[in-house]
Amino acid sequence: MPFAPISKVLIVGGGTAGWIAAATLARLLEDQPCRIELVESDEIGTVGVGEATIPPILDLNRVLGLDENAFIQRTQATFKLGIEFVGWKQEGARYFHPFGRYGADVGHVDFAHYWRRLRDLIGDEAGTLEDYSLPSAAARAGKFMRPDPNPKNVLSNLAYAFHFDANLYARYLREYAQARGVVRHEGRVVDGELDERGFVAAVRLEDGRRLDAELFIDCSGFRGLLIEQVLGTGYEDWSHWLPCNRAVAVPSASAGPPPPFTRSTAREAGWQWRIPLQHRTGNGHVYCSDHVSDDEACAVLLGSIEGRPLADPKLLRFTTGRRHQFWNRNVVALGLAGGFMEPLESTSIHLIQSGLTRLMTMFPDTGFAQADIDQFNRASTVEYKRIRDFLILHYVANERTGLPFWDRCRTMAIPDSLAHKIDLYRSRGRFFRFEDELFTATSWQAVFEGQGIVPAGFDPIASGVSFEQLRSTLNRMRETILRGVGAIPTHADFIAQNCAASDRQN
């Protein structure tokens, strides 16, 4: 006997995760007889003071049909071309993780092999890998424009994401979702009610109300109100690999034109973020409480921000890891309810987005086929583990000797999956992308090279191009990138001319 379609979805929790879920479901289920509701409490605060993203968010905006300029204005957003890492290899060292790609096609293997061969032949004259990245060069110059639609133009190689105010983003998506029929309930959820199968039948609110549904999306944050407190799903702790367990965050006044990139600066027992918005700057210090106290971490943050603080510092406690199941019975966990990996590579919103994409590709009926649930959990687990490995690489590949936190990170045992990637790169600079993992060769190469993991050689196929052709081709690439950067407006001018927020004090 066929099962009935899902007729009602309840999202538990608002914030970024909840309202992304509500907006996405409202858009993609608009032709279905499915009621979407969300319950949240204004008494429960949200986590972020600023949010950095990665390029897949452009796909989310397209799915929702958002006007990009309006989205930027409403969320006080700026553009992001990548992440600058300061002091991660050793004190004073810098490198840039750009969006997009390095170089252009030269032959039959990845561009980096040709660059490495040329560098072996002529040394520093070949430049750095960053010299062959248009987003890196534009970021250094403080410039931005949207990619040129002509693929033959070097300016088509710009790739970007956004920085925005997380609270304004949630408010923006709330308006979007409610305009498309999502019903919002105000109230604090205190418990869940199970049916005879052990599925969640309803949630109970503090005031006694009962909200039922057939499918529940848990966006309740770290506490995992349904996925953990009601269903007891369990949590896999990754703090032995990612030992930072606290963060202190504070907004500050802008101290000049906003740069088109996020900055991550290594500190004694963690790292500090800087996220520039139109109306202010988001700052935070992620650290390990085994090596620095909360008061010391707060003092480090307040002593190094570029503008005056606009609020009191906010302390967050967390344990890195993931739920044993992201989808358990009729509950799907998104955002912090599903797991947490520190915001080092700006993956938080992407994980919400990709979880929703998976859910929509195997949207259930009331039968909740276990095969679909298992596939969802398998794919989600793989994605989390691959991102985890990429984050661990930043810590293990450091030369900050003599500092207990960094010595601990450099000498820790790492997952076999990461050790395999490092061994492949050390050998001949090869990278293989497994199971649709998020980060591409560019991302891994940026961190490998930036933190001193240098291959013993390059792919032999790169020797098929003559030395003179190789040198002239790569020289032209660098010259073309420099000319391209010269034609790009400053980041501040681009925003002013296209998408400046009307209320800079919001």
Mean pLDDT, rounded, for 277-286: 96
* pLDDT, tens only, 424-464: 999 999 999 988 899 999 999 999 999 999 999 999 999 99
Concatenate the DSSP letters of all residues of 43-95 into one string: TSPPS-SSEE--TTHHHHHHHHT--HHHHHHHHT-EEE-EEEEESSSSTT-EE
pLDDT above 90 covers a percentage of the chain that reads 96
> Is a pLDDT exceeding 60 seen at residue 81?
yes
* pLDDT, tens only, 49-80: 568 999 999 999 999 999 999 999 999 999 99
Which is the catalytic residue, given 80, 89, 143, 385? 80
* pLDDT, tens only, 112-142: 999 999 999 999 999 999 999 999 999 999 9
> Is a pLDDT exceeding 70 seen at residue 504?
no
In angstroms, rounded to a whole number, what is the distance separating the alpha carbons of residues 291 and 244?
Answer: 10
> Is a pLDDT exceeding 50 seen at residue 102?
yes
How would residue 13 be classed by pLDDT, with cut points 50, 70 and 90? Answer: very high
Pairing verdict, β 331-333 and 215-218 = parallel
CB proximity list for 393: less than 8 A, separation 6 or greater = 418, 421, 422, 444, 447, 448, 451
pLDDT of residue 167: 93
pLDDT of residue 220: 97
Instruction: Count Cβ atoms within 10 A of the Cβ of residue 105 and give its class: 0-12 exposed, 13-18 middle, 19 or more buried.
Output: exposed
How would residue 506 be classed by pLDDT, with cut points 50, 70 and 90? Answer: very low
Q: Please, what is the average pLDDT of the chain?
A: 96
* pLDDT, tens only, 327-381: 999 999 999 999 999 999 999 999 999 999 999 999 999 999 999 999 999 999 9
> Is a pLDDT exceeding 70 seen at residue 234?
yes
* pLDDT, tens only, 173-208: 999 999 999 999 999 999 999 999 999 999 999 999
What burial letters (b/e) apply to 425-456, b meaning 16+ CB within 10 Å?
A: beebbbbeeeeebbbebbbbbbbbbbbebebe
CB proximity list for 279: less than 8 A, separation 6 or greater = 76, 165, 254, 501, 503, 504, 505, 506
pTM reported for the whole predicted model: 0.97
Catalytic status, residue 8: no
pLDDT of residue 43: 77
pLDDT of residue 505: 41
pLDDT of residue 49: 53
* CA-based end-to-end distance of the chain: 55
